[in-house]
């Protein structure tokens, strides 16, 4: 056995830059370097999923002369690997002393103190930021194929995903970029996916949500979103239209890089589900709907596109039994890749019951929930019930409209716009908002 000292360095980044090279160089001077390369799931749970998969990243790092071996690090926490390898040194840049990574650092110090290991911190390399480099690379790394595959990839990496409505280029930019720190977990929280809602797409166009906005127009919205963002898109496909047309819709969506379409089991003039039984909600014959789903599945060219069946039983007041019966038919006969269960009840009890019974039937099939009315239930609790994707379906539209209405009203009242200035973004900020 070598009596050289052992050194542990954790790396999560896709893109290796001068800062990493510096840390590895210094680490190699201390002894034999083991790199704990964060797995795709570990990265995805605390920031955006990596651009390159573990195998590709591993191949690069394993070939570096400073590195003796690469091992997976399954969590953001170093605990498991430090306990397993008991390195003499852990080496890291000193930039993690402050900010959200300080939680991870504190744990490392604790673990090392258990056996006399040492933390060596290398002064942070100024002028290079992994986050900035990654942000610059991401748009060019996002191809039609990789974007389409991204939803399935994320579903494998993370226990559950969070999506929100994006209805135009500007709201897509918000969904693409908004982040908040999650200091308790040393993580950064962001949206995983975008929901292109029929309600919001129609409403922004001043049209009712009755499938009046045709597919060509919906595609225009999708293009606007795609041009400025990279996150996977889940399209609200309404009823999927005529069964004969549905395969053509699937081919088009696959070709442009949409990740999933959700179609609802309604027929006749579609009415928004949040009307519930205040509107006529006619459900399709479940076998007919399964045939429609199946025609779509057979038309599909790629393996990664998802066709998700949306159950409207609870919206139509038919109860959980009907929803479960239909879910089974859509999966077993229609080949649905996932289920969306919709409800407008405020207490969320039907959703709880559906999830319990559905998860007894299968744990494999992803389930999507849309907590618009039962939004007192936190996302994490819905995930505990077995939800795979939580969609906040219309919240950007609903926040934009009152703000716009208020501004328009106050300018009318005052005969000038000075009074609203304080609530508005400055023109300077508007000009800076979109990079040229």
CA–CA distance, 175 with 161 (Å, rounded to integer):
14
To 5 degrees, how large is the angle CA 340–CA 229–CA 398? 55
The string of DSSP codes covering 305-332 is -EEEEEE-TTTTT-HHHHHHHHHHHHHH
Token pair for 109: 């110090």
158 to 197: interface string for ligand SPV, x by CB under 6 A: ---------------------------------------x
Find which of Mg ion, ligand SPV, none residue 7 binds, CB within 5 to 8 Å per kind.
Answer: none
**Residue with the CB atom nearest Mg ion in the bound state:** 198
Of the candidates 168, 159, 156, the residue with the CA atom closest to the CA atom of residue 203:
168
Supply the minimum distance, in Å, between the C-beta of residue 340 and Mg ion: 10
Tell me whether residue 34 or residue 239 sits nearer to ligand SPV (CB atom): 239
Q: What is the residue-wise DSSP string for 55-120?
A: HHHHHHHHT-TT-SEEEEE-SSS-HHHHHHH--SEEEEEGGGGSSTTHHHHHHHHHHHHTTT-EEE
Of these, 51, 108, 199, 383, which contacts ligand SPV (CB under 6 A)?
199
**Residue 340 Cβ vs ligand SPV, minimum distance, rounded to whole Å:** 9
Rounded to 5°, the CA angle 21-66-55 comes to: 80
Nearer CB in complex with ligand SPV: 206/435: 206
Binding mask 256-285 for ligand SPV (x = CB under 6 A): ----------------xxx-----------
Closest CB to ligand SPV: residue number: 197
Q: Residue 81 or 197: which CB sits closer to ligand SPV?
A: 197
Site string for ligand SPV, 9-48 (x = CB under 6 A): ----------------------------------------
**Toward Mg ion, which CB reaches closer, 236 or 337?**
236
Residues numbered 356 to 395 that lie near ligand SPV (CB under 6 A) are: 370, 372, 393-394
Q: How many residues does the chain have?
A: 436
For 329, residues 6+ apart whose C-beta sits below 8 A from its C-beta are 286, 287, 289, 290
| Tokens (6 digits) for 12 | 């999560």
Catalogue the active-site residues.
209
64/274 with CB nearer ligand SPV: 274
Which residue is listed with tokens 């999830």? 355
Binding site for ligand SPV (CB under 6 A): 197-199, 209, 236, 272-274, 370, 372, 393-394
């Amino acid at each position: 056995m070598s009596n050289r000292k052992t050194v542990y360095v954790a790396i999560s980044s896709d893109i290796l830059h001068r800062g990493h090279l510096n840390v590895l160089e210094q680490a190699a001077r201390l002894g034999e370097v083991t790199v704990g390369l964060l797995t795709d799931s570990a990265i995805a749970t605390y920031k955006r999923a990596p651009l390159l998969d573990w195998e590709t990243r591993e191949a690069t790092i394993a070939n570096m002369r400073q590195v003796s071996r690469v091992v997976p690090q399954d969590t953001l926490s170093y605990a498991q690997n430090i306990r397993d390898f008991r390195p003499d040194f852990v080496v890291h840049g000193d930039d993690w002393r402050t900010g959200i990574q300080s939680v991870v650092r504190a744990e490392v110090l604790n673990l090392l103190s258990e056996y006399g290991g040492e933390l060596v911190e290398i002064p942070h390399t100024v002028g290079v930021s992994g986050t900035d480099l990654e942000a610059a690379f991401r748009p060019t790394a996002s191809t039609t194929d990789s974007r389409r595959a991204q939803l399935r990839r994320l579903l494998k990496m993370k226990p559950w995903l969070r999506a929100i409505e994006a209805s135009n280029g500007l709201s897509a930019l918000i969904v693409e970029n908004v982040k908040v720190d999650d200091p308790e977990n040393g993580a950064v929280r962001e949206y995983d996916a975008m929901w292109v809602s029929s309600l919001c797409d129609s409403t922004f166009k001043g049209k009712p949500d009755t499938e009046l906005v045709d597919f060509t127009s919906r595609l225009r919205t999708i293009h606007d979103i795609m041009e400025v963002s990279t996150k996977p898109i889940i399209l609200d496909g309404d009823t999927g239209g005529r069964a004969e047309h549905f395969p053509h819709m699937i081919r088009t969506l696959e070709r442009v890089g949409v990740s999933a379409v959700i179609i609802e089991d309604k027929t006749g003039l579609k009415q928004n589900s949040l009307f519930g039984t205040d509107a006529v909600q006619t459900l399709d014959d479940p076998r007919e709907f399964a045939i429609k789903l199946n025609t779509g599945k057979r038309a599909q060219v790629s393996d990664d596109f998802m066709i998700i069946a949306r159950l409207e039983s609870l919206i139509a007041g038919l109860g959980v039994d009907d929803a479960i019966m239909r879910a089974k038919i859509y999966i077993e006969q229609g080949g649905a890749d996932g289920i969306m269960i919709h409800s407008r009840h405020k207490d969320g009890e039907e959703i709880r019951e559906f999830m319990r019974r559905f998860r007894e039937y299968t744990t494999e099939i992803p389930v999507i929930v849309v907590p618009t009315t039962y939004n007192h239930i936190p996302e994490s609790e819905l995930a505990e019930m077995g939800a795979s994707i939580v969609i906040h379906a219309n919240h950007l539209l609903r926040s934009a409209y009152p703000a716009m209405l208020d501004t328009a009203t106050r300018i009318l009242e005052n005969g000038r716009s000075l009074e609203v200035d304080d609530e508005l973004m400055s023109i300077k900020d508007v000009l800076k908002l979109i990079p040229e």
